[in-house]
């Protein structure tokens, strides 16, 4: 291939396939279906591979639903915290399942979507999350219906329910206990619907996760309530499958050595900034300590502090690991910085530059 200029996101389909095969295994062993959470990963250049192992997509907006319908195919699940009339006009023609966040919206739009499998999001009042910012059951949360009496009054209008209450949950015991708690609290509802989505945020593709216990738990739950279970893997489907490849432009000294790369946490890995997480790096550990920083004007544009086996120099390549989730969907034009290209290494080893972002892209994003 032509030499790729940094920065660029590099998606490795072989690494992606490793996750997809685990998702397929869970489907075969438990009977659950998995739909890709597009809010986490929407890079459609690898959808042809992902669609072979997953059952469709789930969205958080009209545009995501259209993307899933047009480029992924299979089942298209639509959800939004709040729909407008225009959303419904489009979604009613492309969605297989349409999930409402409130009873008021369900009642308002039901007559237009009743030919679909209609669902309702429920907030169980408990969750697994390391961050209040991302906790769907945080105090005063607007995400899902909390009043069971209100839910029971509209059961005749829905065929399924969604519970999204996990966030970065890699602990099977916690997952299992919360599912039992869910069953106990909502048994009267579970006995009267056809399907349930357990949302995303469960890291069942992580190395060492007790996947057979996970499958057994899901199958038992499904059989007890005669339900089709849906999972909505985002990070779980693409974990460890992508790098952000960068080049060091300068090294400055302010008590510590600070290496500045041609990318930005603010623009290209925004979740790190939001949640104050250090980026993972593909490099051998050693005694040479560096702060690796982005090139934006934001003082806190810092990828992290690392101790490396090799000394860095201007022109060195720095590869940030596990960057597929919530990066490409959140990249932005802050400071007018060059956006990373999107590059895919196919299963056959061929590397393709899928998309470059140039000045005209920056220009057309504004007015």
**Contact of 78 with 69, CB cutoff 8 Å:** no
- Residue 88 inside a domain? The answer is yes
Q: Are residues 109 and 220 in the same domain?
A: yes
Tell me if residue 160 falls in helix, strand or coil.
strand
What's the whole-number mean pLDDT along residues 118-138? 96
pLDDT, one tens digit per residue, over 195-208 is 999 999 999 999 99
Please tell me the total count of domains within the chain. Answer: 2
Question: Is the pLDDT score of 324 beyond 70?
Answer: yes
The predicted pLDDT at position 1 comes to 43
Rounded percentage of the chain residues whose pLDDT exceeds 70: 99
pLDDT interval class at 183 (50, 70, 90) = very high
Residue found by looking up tokens 């038992």 in the block: 220
pLDDT interval class at 3 (50, 70, 90) = confident
Q: Mean pLDDT for the chain?
A: 97
pLDDT, one tens digit per residue, over 13-71 is 999 999 999 999 999 999 999 999 999 999 999 999 999 999 999 999 999 999 999 99
Q: Are residues 55 and 192 in the same domain?
A: yes
Q: Are residues 261 and 183 in the same domain?
A: no
Question: Is the pLDDT score of 74 beyond 70?
Answer: yes
Please tell me what DSSP assigns to residue 51.
T
Question: Is the pLDDT score of 241 beyond 60?
Answer: yes
- Residue 326 inside a domain? The answer is no
pLDDT, one tens digit per residue, over 246-292 is 999 999 999 999 999 999 999 999 999 999 999 999 999 999 999 99
Distance CA 362, CA 367 (A): 10
pLDDT, one tens digit per residue, over 78-100 is 999 999 999 999 999 999 999 99
Instruction: Find residue 71's DSSP bridge partners.
Output: none
The predicted pLDDT at position 2 comes to 55
- Residue 363 inside a domain? The answer is no
* CATH code for the domain in which residue 297 is found: 2.40.37.10
pLDDT, one tens digit per residue, over 132-182 is 999 999 999 999 999 999 999 999 999 999 999 999 999 999 999 999 999
pLDDT, one tens digit per residue, over 213-233 is 999 999 999 999 999 999 999
**Contact of 71 with 37, CB cutoff 8 Å:** no
- Residue 46 inside a domain? The answer is yes
* CATH code for the domain in which residue 49 is found: 3.20.20.10
Domain around 99: 14-238
E strand or H helix at 266: helix 265-268
């Amino acid at each position: 291939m032509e030499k790729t200029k940094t920065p660029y996101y590099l998606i490795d389909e072989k690494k992606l396939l490793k996750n997809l095969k685990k998702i397929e295994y869970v489907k075969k062993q438990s009977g659950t279906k998995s739909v890709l959470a597009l809010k986490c990963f929407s890079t459609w250049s690898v959808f042809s591979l992902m669609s072979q192992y997953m059952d469709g997509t789930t969205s958080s907006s009209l545009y995501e639903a259209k993307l899933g319908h047009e480029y992924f195919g299979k089942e298209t699940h639509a959800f939004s915290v709040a729909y407008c009339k225009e959303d419904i006009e489009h979604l009613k023609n492309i969605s297989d399942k349409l999930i409402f966040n409130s009873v008021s919206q369900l009642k308002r739009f039901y007559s237009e979507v009743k030919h679909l499998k209609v669902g309702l999001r429920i907030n169980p009042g408990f969750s697994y999350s390391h961050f209040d910012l991302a906790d769907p059951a945080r105090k005063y949360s607007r995400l899902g219906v909390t009043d069971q009496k209100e839910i029971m009054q509209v059961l005749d209008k829905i065929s399924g329910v969604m519970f999204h209450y996990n966030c970065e949950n890699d602990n099977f015991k916690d997952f299992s206990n919360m599912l039992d708690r869910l069953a106990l609290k909502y048994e009267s509802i579970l006995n009267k619907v056809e399907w349930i989505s357990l949302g995303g945020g469960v890291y069942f593709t992580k190395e060492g996760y007790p996947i057979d216990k996970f499958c057994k738990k899901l199958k038992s739950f499904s059989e007890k309530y005669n339900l089709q279970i849906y999972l909505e893997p985002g990070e779980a489907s693409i974990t460890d499958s992508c790098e952000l490849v960068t080049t060091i432009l300068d090294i400055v000294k302010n008590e510590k050595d600070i290496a500045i790369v041609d990318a930005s946490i603010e623009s290209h890995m925004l979740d790190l900034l939001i949640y104050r997480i250090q980026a993972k790096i593909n490099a051998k550990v050693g005694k040479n300590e560096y702060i690796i920083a982005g090139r934006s004007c934001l003082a806190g544009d810092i990828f992290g502090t690392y101790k490396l086996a090799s000394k860095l120099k201007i022109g060195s390549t720095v590869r940030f690991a596990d960057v597929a989730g919530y990066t490409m969907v959140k990249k932005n034009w802050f400071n007018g910085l060059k956006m990373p290209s999107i590059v895919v290494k196919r299963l056959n080893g061929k590397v393709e530059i899928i998309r470059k972002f140039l000045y005209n892209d920056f220009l057309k994003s504004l007015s």
